[in-house]
Structure 1
Amino acid sequence: MQAYVRLEPQSDVVELTDLPKPSPGEGQALVEMHAFGVGIHDRYFIPPTGPFPYVIGIEGAGVVAELGGGVDNVGVGDRVIVSTNMRPEGGTWGECAVVPAGGLSPMPDAMDFATAAGVTVAGKSAVESIHSLALTEGETLFVAGASGAIGTLVVQMAAGRGVRVIGSASQPNHEYLLSLGAEAAVDYRSEGWREDVLAWAAGGVDAALAIQPGTGASSQKVVRDGGRVITVSGDQEPTERGISVVPFVHRSDTGGEMEALIDDIAEGRIRLVLEGIYPFADAIKALEGCETRSARGKRVVTLPIAE
């Protein structure tokens, strides 16, 4: 099979190569990949000890082709959403992937492979961010890096709960944020963006979500005394004015919230915006585009079988 791999831990170069088709072991399934998500993490999320060459990628969608022993939650031919996490068997950026049964969930009938491929990482991060923010109706939220895949979902989920949202993004993405439910948008490249936020929320917003690395400190400047900043990137910042700055919490069990989000996306109540759908041959181009950190929604790659 063809797959995109890291050849060694010392180099972050990703290459397309031919590999033997893997076989599922106990508690695993072999999935014929139809699409996979692309994220800033994909080049670097690999086990430090391999094995190499290591197939990159941690999310995708496909059809179950073969089952290992002890798997009873899916069957051959099932359409599934795939989630892996730096396992020795490799990731999702290939024509096939070996996935633990617990990393598979059913695709809704109304969802296509491209959308399903992009829901896992952004969706789980958005669900966990909303949980950590714990905002109630009428409270205010500033989202730093609001136009990316996570921000796109957070803005909609927060607005749907009656939270008032203002987001930062480049000027061309402002109308996009407003279409998602944000009340206002600011340009993080503008010197006066902090003043614009404070003019919108006198005294500061109740909470901020710092999605992009390095935005934890600047987000504090627009939060009210005693408010909170949740950092997706894990920024650790000195605090001021009684503001708490904490990373959002990864949870192995999202209590049905992830399933509810997938259903909302499948039924059109929440939009998972796909910035680009790339053919398999252009996967590196898609990755390099993500690495510019100037995104509008999610990028995914489809394999020829799904095109």
Structure 2
Amino acid sequence: MKAIVKQSAKTNDIALLEVPVPEINNDELLIEVRAIGVGIHDEYFLPQNISYPYTIGIEAAGVVQEVGSSVSSYEKGDRIAFISMLQPKGGTWAEYVAVHKDSLSFRIPENMTFEQAAAIPVAGNTALKAIEPLPLRPGNSIFIAGASGAIGTFLIQLAKEKGYVVASSASKRNHQYMKELGADFTVDYRDANWQQQITDWMPGGVDAAIAVQPKTTTDSMKVVKDGGHVTSISGDQVPSERGVSVEIVSHQLDIRNELSRMVKHIADNDMKLVIEEVYPFAEGFEALKKTQTRHARGKLVLSMNK
């Protein structure tokens, strides 16, 4: 099968190669991949004991081809989207992938394409885990730092669905885009006084903030009121101050029900799924470079059908 693999521990040492189709264990599924979600960490999120060449990638969508004897959740022919990471048999950037039965996954609605489905698992899962634990009520305010990417696109809509007042940051060119998603107030992170703009808009500060991009947690804290809450998606380690609680996204939180509801909303066009571009699989290198600039609007996807 064709796969985009990391050939060695060297940075950027990736290539499109022919590799064996993985054989599955009793607790795995073999998926024929139809589309792949592109993420900034796809080349770097690797298991410790790695054998090269190693197929990169974390999320995808496809059709179940084989089912292990201890798997009861899916049958051959099912259309599913999934997250599969840190697996010794490789990641998702391939024509076939072995997926453990306990991996986060969902059935793809009939009115959703593989490309749409592949854009949801990582960004949707992360956005839900960031926003669900916040102790906010309708009418409370939230600031989303770096809100024009795939995760931020979902966060704005989820926050509005919960009745929150939303401020968000991104480059100027993305302000109208964020407002169309529901943002009530937007700032350009390049402006020296963007924090003052938010505290002028919401005197005393917002009730909570979610820092999507790395190194934005400290700055986000400055626009949160005393005793408020900050969640860091990137994992920034920042000490608390003024009674502001600072937490990293909990990957242990079970949001499967919420994710299923999100998928239905997207399929029914009640929530926007923004895909900036769909690349042919062979152009995965270009998609990876684009997403690593952190300037993609919404999600980038690879398609096996282009």
- For normalisation by structure 1, the TM-score amounts to 0.96
The 1-side partners of 2:106 and 2:158 are apart by: 22
Deviates more, 1:275-284 or 1:98-107: 98-107
- Residue type of the partner of 2:161? G
Shift of 1:288: 0.5
Partner of 2:98: 98
Partner of 1:24: 24
8 A contact 1:82–1:105 mirrored in 2? yes
- Residue type of the partner of 1:94? A
Partner of 2:89: 89
- Residue type of the partner of 2:70? G
The 2-side partners of 1:82 and 1:162 are apart by: 29
Partner of 1:158: 159
Note the residue ranges of structure 2 that are not aligned, 5 or more in a row. Answer: none
- Residue type of the partner of 2:23? S
8 A contact 2:106–2:260 mirrored in 1? no
Partner of 2:68: 68
Deviates more, 1:246-255 or 1:112-121: 246-255
Confirm whether residue 113 of structure 1 aligns to residue 114 of structure 2. yes
The 2-side partners of 1:165 and 1:200 are apart by: 11
Partner of 1:55: 55
- Residue type of the partner of 1:33? V
8 A contact 1:9–1:48 mirrored in 2? no
Shift of 1:30: 1.1
Task: State how many pairs are aligned.
Answer: 305
The 2-side partners of 1:73 and 1:238 are apart by: 42
Shift of 1:274: 0.4
Shift of 1:230: 0.6
Partner of 1:239: 240
Partner of 1:294: 295
Shift of 1:132: 2.6
For 1:8-19, what aligned pairs fall within 5 Å after superposition?
A: 8-19=8-19
Partner of 1:80: 80
Note the residue ranges of structure 1 that are not aligned, 5 or more in a row. Answer: none
Per-residue CA distance 1:125-176 (angstroms, 9 max, x = gap): 0110111323210000000000111100010010111100010000000000
Shift of 1:76: 1.4
Moved over 6 A (4+): none
Per-residue CA distance 1:56-112 (angstroms, 9 max, x = gap): 111110011122222222111111112202111111100111111233421111111
SS at match of 2:235: coil
Partner of 1:168: 169
For 1:116-127, what aligned pairs fall within 5 Å after superposition?
A: 116-127=117-128
8 A contact 1:12–1:44 mirrored in 2? no
8 A contact 1:9–1:49 mirrored in 2? no
Shift of 1:10: 4.1
8 A contact 1:265–1:272 mirrored in 2? yes
8 A contact 1:55–1:90 mirrored in 2? yes
